[in-house]
Structure 1
Amino acid sequence: METPAFVARVEAATKTYGTGAGRVNALDGVSLGIEAGRFTAIMGPSGSGKSTLMHVMAGLDTVTSGRVFLGDTEITSLGDAELTVLRRRRIGFVFQSFNLVPTLDVRANIRLPFEIDGRKPTVEQQDWIDRLVDSLGLAGRLTHRPHELSGGQQQRVAIARALATRPDLIFADEPTGNLDSRTGREVLTILREAAAGYGQSIAMVTHDPVAASFADTTVFLADGRIAAQRDRASAEDISAFMLGMEAHA
């Protein structure tokens, strides 16, 4: 059996906040790889360490001990300037709150990662953006600003922006948290198709079993440790597993 290729990984990652009696281990010796070209959900109750894990893997926070890699690049001890460039060029983000720039129209929001990096899309990259715009149903909205869009449309713009530079990995932080259930399912389907159809690597932090059921793999965290890792499962199975975890906590 082939060893899976990891687009990001942590080795014995520990993240500690506070000292003495107030000390909290947000991550407690976590070793985990995010497989390339797959949609991975990171699940757990509030305080389980899932957001801390995402922040550490994305280079938004540092580990107290252990090692962090993006592809073959160890980012554990990179400085802020190096991490900023690395995130800009190799990582995409989709947030619960969309994080679109309100003064920019849809076209400019999608092209923002290129503008921040001081470059224009190549012809090939613009073709890719045009494909994204068409497939996400945004062609008729390119001159609209965020306040003129529904929540679902805003999240589609955020996904297009994250995919525009074809990053090594997209982190999605509760991407359906501000959406109704039907629109949320549409957004999750888009993320699943980005992995299945385009080979995009996606890591999604969520507490929602329905959202996790769209992923290829679900990683369960509890008290800063990995409790289990499962291949695609139904929302009912995921929910039952979570309830079992909480009962044994």
Structure 2
Amino acid sequence: MNAQAAAIETVAGVANLGKYYGAGEQRVVALHDVSVGVGRGQFTAIMGPSGSGKSTLMHVMAGLDTPSAGQVWLGGDEISGLGDAELTKLRRRRIGFIFQAFNLVPTLDVRGNIMLPFQLDGKKPSLQEMAWIDALLNQLGLASRLDHRPHELSGGQQQRVAIARALATKPDVIFADEPTGALDSRTGREVLKLLRSAVTNSGQSIVMVTHDPIAASYADRIVFLGDGQIVADRGPMTAEEISATMLNLEGHAA
């Protein structure tokens, strides 16, 4: 893992990762001997058929779930042995999350939702951080919506708030779980362009789980899973090439 991290400067990764549920004949293998690193400033998509282990991989990499075997790294820190309190602090300070269901706090306005990571960490944003947040709000078209609560926003606006919240603390890596799944196609593409811009213009590192070939076509790299293992690791691909690869994988699985 260290050699791999040195070669591509990984911001997150797993080595010989296994995730199992149950025991004996009842044991279910979600992931088996998976090793992968995510490069700094890289947009990585994780794809695979339903049940392939893609969401499990993201959850373990993000410290939301624990591995049954192997190691999990965030930068140069091995995190698989950390306790709940340490993991919570680490996620708060070094990881950003974007979910399909937005996961905004309904009683907070846009400003409150974006500032939530700072409040949870018991700190006040610095002047530099406030300048960054103001720039984000302008870029995402949210500056005039700061006093609105989630129910007063469209789905696309809510997802933009979630993106601003994830980017506000400049985390080492952002994990996005089907970020366009609840959006119509036009709004979904706007959100994907914003994520792509965060990578290209700000050097943000993003790991996105998706089943959508169009969404994955915005990524620099696409990792395909099948039956809990990596079956292909590719560079940029068109939506058509991704669809063909997925059909091929599902054909082999059948």
TM-score, normalized by length of structure 2? 0.97
* Alignment correspondent of 1:155: 159
For residues 123-147 of structure 1, the C-alpha deviation after alignment (integer angstroms, 9 at most, x for no partner) is: 0000000000000000110111100
Q: Does 1:15 align with 2:19?
A: yes
* Alignment correspondent of 1:76: 80
The Cα shift of 1:19 comes to 1.4
For residues 165-192 of structure 1, the C-alpha deviation after alignment (integer angstroms, 9 at most, x for no partner) is: 0000000000000000000000001001
**Which of 170, 177, 187 pairs up with 2:174?**
170
For residues 162-221 of structure 1, the C-alpha deviation after alignment (integer angstroms, 9 at most, x for no partner) is: 000000000000000000000000000100110010000000001111110011100000
Structure 1, 14-23 or 152-161: larger mean CA deviation:
14-23
3-state SS of 1:59 partner: coil
**Which of 228, 235, 238 pairs up with 2:232?**
228
The Cα shift of 1:22 comes to 1.8
3-state SS of 1:77 partner: coil
Q: Does 1:33 align with 2:37?
A: yes
**Counterpart amino acid of residue 248 in structure 1:** H
* Alignment correspondent of 2:98: 94
Gaps of 5+ in 1: none
3-state SS of 2:44 partner: strand
**Counterpart amino acid of residue 134 in structure 2:** D
3-state SS of 2:175 partner: strand
* Alignment correspondent of 2:3: none
Matches within 5 A, 1:46-195: 46-195=50-199
> Which whole-Å CA distance do the structure 2 matches of 1:221 and 1:35 have between them?
18
> Which whole-Å CA distance do the structure 1 matches of 2:222 and 2:244 have between them?
14
**Counterpart amino acid of residue 37 in structure 1:** G
* Alignment correspondent of 1:6: 10
Gaps of 5+ in 2: 1-5
For residues 79-123 of structure 1, the C-alpha deviation after alignment (integer angstroms, 9 at most, x for no partner) is: 111101000000000000000011111011101000100111100
> Which whole-Å CA distance do the structure 1 matches of 2:14 and 2:245 have between them?
24
Matches within 5 A, 1:201-240: 201-240=205-244
Identity across the alignment (%): 68
> Which whole-Å CA distance do the structure 2 matches of 1:145 and 1:62 have between them?
34
The Cα shift of 1:20 comes to 1.9
3-state SS of 1:233 partner: coil
TM-score, normalized by length of structure 1? 0.98
Question: How many residues get paired?
Answer: 248
Q: Which runs of 4+ in 1 moved over 2 A?
A: none
3-state SS of 2:102 partner: coil
The Cα shift of 1:46 comes to 1.0
> Which whole-Å CA distance do the structure 2 matches of 1:74 and 1:152 have between them?
36
CA RMSD of aligned residues (A): 0.8
Structure 1, 49-58 or 17-26: larger mean CA deviation:
17-26
**Which of 211, 235, 244 pairs up with 2:248?**
244
The Cα shift of 1:23 comes to 1.1
